[in-house]
């Protein structure tokens, strides 16, 4: 006897027949001895139809009225499903978000859930009823019952939040695909179904454009230890289990707006090696990291900044005790990797290797960083208030890492813990040898790259730039601060590059140009024609050569890498947009993700 939350997406309730099939499945779950709360989306593409309807009346409908309109879609499907259940002899009752008591913040069209009342739900469950709850909606004000919605695709989030509030045994997400795949099967037909994935991995993938799950749903599952499974509503196949690895789930308070940052980590055992002005052509990163992997050197952070002219800078960190060895590799490679123009022209500086034998890496991690640009900005601001200069910045969806001088580490972590109200711990680079180094590959074609050049290299610049963007709700991904410093007059300058969602490009560029004007030699460049390809896997920690294999796969296809960033469990590369799909296919196959061995397990070469 358990309590199960089942969520059915739009296609699963897209017609009368499908609603009846869902009712049957729900009833079977009850017959197996479970209490069931069902969350449904609007039927088929009806939310899209409502959006179109609004647009035929107003080009910019106000967000409150959009919520009033879009929330009706779910009201149709909950009542019909409830009728279908009653028709087959299963007691059921449908409830809107307001009737349940799903309270959200007052942000129309993108509200986060604050709390969910459980008394009415529990009462109906006790009466032996299946409760059918409208997904994607809540109310922001208990008195006025202002209707809010959670953002497109938000029914997943409703379901997992209900599971957390009711402490359900499992949250089952039913959809029209068999579960979570190694990559998008429309682009890579060999994509394989995963039996299991951790919340951390899923969070990265979900926000990287793998559309199976709303990232916020994964965030809640992660924070509150909800056991979740994604499976097909057409078959009885087991689907993909999403496992939460958090030992002690957070207490339920301010559900989605709890602490955005779960922890501050530092690592004082790293050394930084930077190669300046290496050639910007395919194969350079592959050769360098291939040799490092060959020598069994485990590289942690890698960043490569946007190219300038025909050269790039690549910087990475390794364990201090392997610093000399890594430096030797970099030095041996330097001349080979110099660009042709440098070889021809004596005016251009040759490539150069810079070593800093002890740096500190400080990171903030947490599912709540997703979609909240002010968090990274706040981190930069905190460090700049202390006068700490950021050397490298590398970000992923759930992690922002900076390298700073080792002597600044203690001050930095103390301040960050205070600001984000969390504990600090030395980073434990636990290797997960039993997990595959790469679980999935994602392609994001909806990003644009922006760079601001000649930013004075002094504390506070990154904070200023990313605070400005955050104030306009622009989420930034893959922030990269170049290693190369360019003296202009008496000022040392650096470039800062990052990616944003393509739809935010115009606004971000305008804001950046305003900042550039206040700098003496600031200059902004933008590139819409990019693709971001990422590999994700917890098993890559402590597993040398994973990044190298990705770079080699790209090199083999003659695909040039424009930018690189990494987190502990992810490596992302920016390539030119038109090579995105080829890059995805090459990388997916390089990790053997399309092959099954005899036992039906994926083979990891």
Binding positions for ligand ASP, rule: CB under 6 A: 10, 41-42, 47, 73, 135-136, 152-155
> Of these partners, Mg ion, ligand ASP, none, which one is at the site of residue 152 (CB under 5 to 8 Å by kind)?
ligand ASP
> Among residues 135 and 440, whose Cβ is nearest to Mg ion?
135
Minimum distance between the CB of residue 41 and Mg ion, rounded to whole angstroms? 5
* Cβ-Cβ contacts under 8 Å for 305 (sequence gap 6 or more): 312, 313, 480, 481, 482, 483, 484, 495, 497, 563
> Of these partners, Mg ion, ligand ASP, none, which one is at the site of residue 73 (CB under 5 to 8 Å by kind)?
ligand ASP
Neighbours of 372 (CB within 10 A): 18
Minimum distance between the CB of residue 11 and Mg ion, rounded to whole angstroms? 9
C-alpha 306/C-alpha 526 separation (Å) is 11
Minimum distance between the CB of residue 40 and ligand ASP, rounded to whole angstroms? 9
> Of these partners, ligand ASP, Mg ion, none, which one is at the site of residue 567 (CB under 5 to 8 Å by kind)?
none
Minimum distance between the CB of residue 161 and Mg ion, rounded to whole angstroms? 15
Contact positions toward Mg ion, by CB under 5 A?
Answer: 9, 153
Q: Read out DSSP for 516-553?
A: HHHSSS-EEEEE--EEEEEEE-GGGTT-TTHHHHHHHH
> Of these partners, ligand ASP, Mg ion, none, which one is at the site of residue 47 (CB under 5 to 8 Å by kind)?
ligand ASP
> Of these partners, ligand ASP, Mg ion, none, which one is at the site of residue 239 (CB under 5 to 8 Å by kind)?
none
Minimum distance between the CB of residue 232 and ligand ASP, rounded to whole angstroms? 17
> Among residues 135 and 368, whose Cβ is nearest to ligand ASP?
135
Here the tokens at position 446 are 């909806």
SS3 content of the chain, % helix, strand, coil (to 5): 35, 30, 35
Is 327 in contact with 353 (CB distance < 8 Å)? yes
> Among residues 156 and 457, whose Cβ is nearest to Mg ion?
156
C-alpha 522/C-alpha 514 separation (Å) is 10
> Among residues 41 and 99, whose Cβ is nearest to ligand ASP?
41
> Among residues 212 and 261, whose Cβ is nearest to Mg ion?
212
> Among residues 9 and 101, whose Cβ is nearest to Mg ion?
9
What burial class does residue 57 get, using C-beta atoms within 10 Å of its C-beta: 0-12 exposed, 13-18 middle, 19+ buried? Answer: exposed
> Among residues 234 and 281, whose Cβ is nearest to Mg ion?
234
Beta bridge partners of 102: 116
Minimum distance between the CB of residue 49 and ligand ASP, rounded to whole angstroms? 10
> Of these partners, ligand ASP, Mg ion, none, which one is at the site of residue 258 (CB under 5 to 8 Å by kind)?
none
Minimum distance between the CB of residue 153 and ligand ASP, rounded to whole angstroms? 5
Q: How far is CA 332 from the centre of its chain?
A: 36
Here the tokens at position 545 are 């050569």
Here the tokens at position 534 are 């990422």
> Among residues 175 and 481, whose Cβ is nearest to Mg ion?
175
Q: Read out DSSP for 339-359?
A: -HHHHH-SSSPPPEEEEEEEE
What burial class does residue 15 get, using C-beta atoms within 10 Å of its C-beta: 0-12 exposed, 13-18 middle, 19+ buried? Answer: exposed
Minimum distance between the CB of residue 180 and ligand ASP, rounded to whole angstroms? 17
> Among residues 73 and 437, whose Cβ is nearest to ligand ASP?
73
- Looking from the CA of 232 toward its CB, the CA atoms found within 13 Å total 10
Minimum distance between the CB of residue 197 and ligand ASP, rounded to whole angstroms? 20
> Among residues 73 and 239, whose Cβ is nearest to ligand ASP?
73
> Of these partners, ligand ASP, Mg ion, none, which one is at the site of residue 342 (CB under 5 to 8 Å by kind)?
none
Minimum distance between the CB of residue 151 and ligand ASP, rounded to whole angstroms? 8
* Cβ-Cβ contacts under 8 Å for 189 (sequence gap 6 or more): none
Is 492 in contact with 539 (CB distance < 8 Å)? no
Among positive and negative, which fits the CA dihedral 596, 599, 601, 605?
A: negative
C-alpha 467/C-alpha 476 separation (Å) is 11
């Amino acid at each position: 006897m358990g309590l199960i939350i089942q969520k059915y997406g739009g296609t699963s309730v897209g017609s009368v027949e499908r609603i009846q099939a869902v009712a049957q499945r729900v009833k079977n779950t009850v017959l197996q001895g479970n209490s069931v709360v069902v969350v449904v989306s609007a039927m088929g593409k009806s939310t899209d139809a409502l959006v179109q309807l609004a647009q035929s009346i107003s080009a910019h409908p106000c967000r409150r009225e959009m919520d009033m309109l879009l929330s009706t879609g779910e009201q149709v499907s909950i009542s019909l499903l409830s009728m279908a259940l009653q028709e087959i002899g299963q007691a059921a009752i449908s409830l809107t978000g307001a009737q349940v008591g799903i309270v959200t913040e007052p942000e129309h069209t993108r509200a986060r859930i604050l709390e969910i009342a459980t008394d009415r739900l529990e009462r109906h469950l006790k009466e032996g009823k299946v409760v059918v709850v409208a997904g994607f909606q809540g109310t922001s004000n208990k008195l006025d019952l202002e209707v809010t919605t959670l953002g497109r695709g938000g029914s997943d989030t409703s379901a997992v939040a209900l599971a957390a509030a009711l402490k359900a045994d499992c949250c089952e997400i039913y959809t029209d695909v068999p579960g979570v795949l190694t990559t998008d099967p429309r682009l890579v037909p060999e994509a394989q179904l995963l039996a299991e994935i951790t919340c951390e991995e899923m969070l990265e993938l979900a926000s990287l454009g793998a559309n199976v799950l709303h990232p916020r749903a994964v965030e809640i599952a992660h924070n509150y230890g909800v056991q979740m499974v994604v499976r097909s509503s057409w078959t009885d196949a087991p689907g993909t289990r999403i496992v939460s690895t958090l030992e002690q789930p957070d207490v339920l308070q301010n559900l989605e707006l709890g602490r955005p940052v779960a922890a501050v980590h530092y690592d004082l055992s790293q050394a930084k090696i930077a190669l300046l002005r290496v050639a910007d052509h395919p194969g350079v990163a592959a050769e360098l990291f291939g040799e490092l992997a060959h020598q069994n050197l485990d590289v942690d952070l890698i960043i490569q900044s946007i190219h300038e002219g025909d050269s790039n800078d690549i910087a990475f960190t390794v364990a201090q005790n392997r610093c000399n060895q890594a430096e030797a590799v970099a030095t041996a490679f330097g001349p080979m990797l110099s660009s042709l123009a440098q070889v021809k022209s004596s005016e251009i500086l040759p490539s150069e290797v810079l070593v800093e034998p002890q740096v500190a890496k400080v990171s903030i991690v947490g599912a709540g960083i997703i979609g909240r640009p002010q968090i990274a900005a706040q981190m930069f601001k905190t460090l700049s208030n202390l006068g700490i200069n950021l050397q490298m910045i590398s970000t992923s969806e759930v992690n922002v890492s900076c390298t700073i001088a080792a002597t600044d580490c203690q001050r930095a972590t103390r301040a960050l813990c205070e600001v984000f109200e969390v504990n600090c711990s030395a980073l434990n680079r636990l290797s997960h040898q039993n997990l595959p180094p790469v679980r999935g590959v994602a392609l994001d074609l909806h990003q644009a790259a922006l760079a601001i050049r000649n930013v004075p290299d002094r504390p506070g610049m990154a904070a200023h730039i990313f605070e400005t963007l955050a104030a306009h709700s622009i989420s930034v991904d893959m922030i990269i601060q170049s290693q190369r410093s360019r003296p202009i007059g008496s000022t040392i300058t650096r470039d800062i590059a990052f990616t944003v969602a393509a739809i935010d490009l115009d606004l971000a560029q305008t804001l950046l140009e305003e900042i550039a004007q206040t700098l003496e030699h600031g200059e902004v460049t933008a590139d819409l024609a990019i693709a971001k390809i990422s590999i994700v896997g917890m098993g890559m920690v402590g597993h040398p050569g994973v990044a190298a294999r990705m770079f080699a796969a790209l090199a083999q296809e003659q695909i040039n890498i424009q930018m690189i960033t990494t987190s502990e469990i992810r490596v992302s590369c920016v390539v030119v947009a038109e090579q995105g799909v080829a890059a995805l296919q090459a990388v997916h196959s390089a990790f053997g993700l399309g092959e099954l061995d005899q036992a039906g397990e994926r083979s990891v070469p």
